[in-house]
């Protein structure tokens, strides 16, 4: 493990940490970075790690001590769910009720409750050309009711991805509104996963409880 990589990560992490209030959970997004970086982060005191791919997440999570907490935030492929339910503590990208059913039965089988965020599509206009995943806010009530009835799932909140080249404020305002709507159906689902390297400070203004930060800490991919 190189000392220079260690000090590079420590400095970037300290800078990001200084901009996040203590009550907010920082998820360090370690996708594409080696397990040695995750070990450095662990030694620096980080416990929450985010991955977009099952294969990477399942391998890296095996290398880390038991008290590390793993977040799956990538597009869900149904055939990967059995593995994802094994290694992930939180799934952030739930947006399909058939995936919810499958997660619930796999979690029942594994004797766990799988914590899930419902992903909300924050695009201003949702049409067949929408690239981004997530359900529309109009679908949230019925989706949440259906998911809440599933024995293997605990819905913990909402997740969203801000726009790439536009003001993220309207998007995070929508996410905050979705959170309030969700809590009418599921009062305990208070978490908001919003904000990445480029926009986490704005997400915090709109009540984010979890931020997912990769490149500001680990460098560009």
Ligand X SMILES: *Cc1c(COP(=O)(O)O)cnc(C)c1O
Residues interacting with ligand X, by CB under 6 A? Answer: 29, 31, 52, 73, 161, 196-198, 212-216
Give CA–CA dist 75/43, Å, rounded.
Answer: 29
Quick one: CA dihedral 119, 201, 44, 2, positive or negative?
A: positive
Of 105 and 215, nearer to ligand X (C-beta) is 215
Task: Count Cβ atoms below 10 Å from residue 36 Cβ, excluding itself.
Answer: 13
The least distance separating ligand X from the CB of residue 74, rounded to whole angstroms, comes to 6
The least distance separating ligand X from the CB of residue 161, rounded to whole angstroms, comes to 5
The residue sitting closest to ligand X, measured at its beta carbon, is 214
Of 158 and 161, nearer to ligand X (C-beta) is 161
CA proximity to 123, closest of 113, 135, 109, 106 = 135
Give CA–CA dist 212/48, Å, rounded.
Answer: 9
Of 152 and 214, nearer to ligand X (C-beta) is 214
Of 152 and 194, nearer to ligand X (C-beta) is 194
The tokens of 119 are what? 């992903």
The least distance separating ligand X from the CB of residue 50, rounded to whole angstroms, comes to 6
The least distance separating ligand X from the CB of residue 198, rounded to whole angstroms, comes to 6
Of 24 and 148, nearer to ligand X (C-beta) is 24
User: Measured in whole angstroms, how far is the alpha carbon of residue 124 from the centre of its chain?
Assistant: 21
Q: What are phi and psi of 169, to 5 degrees?
A: -60, -50
DSSP state of 137: G
The tokens of 63 are what? 């290398």
The least distance separating ligand X from the CB of residue 107, rounded to whole angstroms, comes to 22
């Amino acid at each position: 493990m190189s000392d220079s990589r260690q000090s590079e990560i420590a400095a970037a992490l300290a800078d990001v940490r200084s901009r996040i209030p203590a009550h907010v959970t920082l998820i360090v997004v370690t996708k594409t970075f080696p397990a040695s970086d995750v070990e450095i982060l662990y030694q620096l005191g980080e416990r929450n790690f985010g991955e977009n791919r099952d294969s990477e997440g399942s391998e890296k999570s095996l290398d880390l001590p038991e008290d590390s907490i793993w977040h799956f935030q990538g597009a869900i492929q149904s055939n990967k769910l059995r593995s994802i339910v094994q290694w992930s503590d939180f799934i952030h990208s739930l947006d399909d009720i058939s995936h919810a059913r499958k997660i619930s039965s796999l979690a029942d089988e594994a004797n766990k409750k799988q914590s899930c965020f419902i992903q909300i599509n924050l695009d201003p206009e949702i049409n067949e050309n929408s690239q981004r995943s997530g359900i529309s806010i109009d679908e949230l009530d019925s989706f949440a009711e259906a998911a809440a009835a599933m024995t293997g799932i605990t819905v913990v909140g909402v997740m969203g991805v801000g726009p790439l080249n536009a003001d993220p404020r309207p998007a995070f305002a929508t996410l905050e509104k979705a959170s309030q709507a969700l809590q009418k159906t599921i009062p305990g689902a208070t978490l908001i996963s919003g904000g990445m390297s480029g926009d986490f400070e704005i997400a915090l203004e709109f009540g984010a409880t979890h931020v997912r930060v990769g490149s500001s800490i680990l460098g560009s991919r």
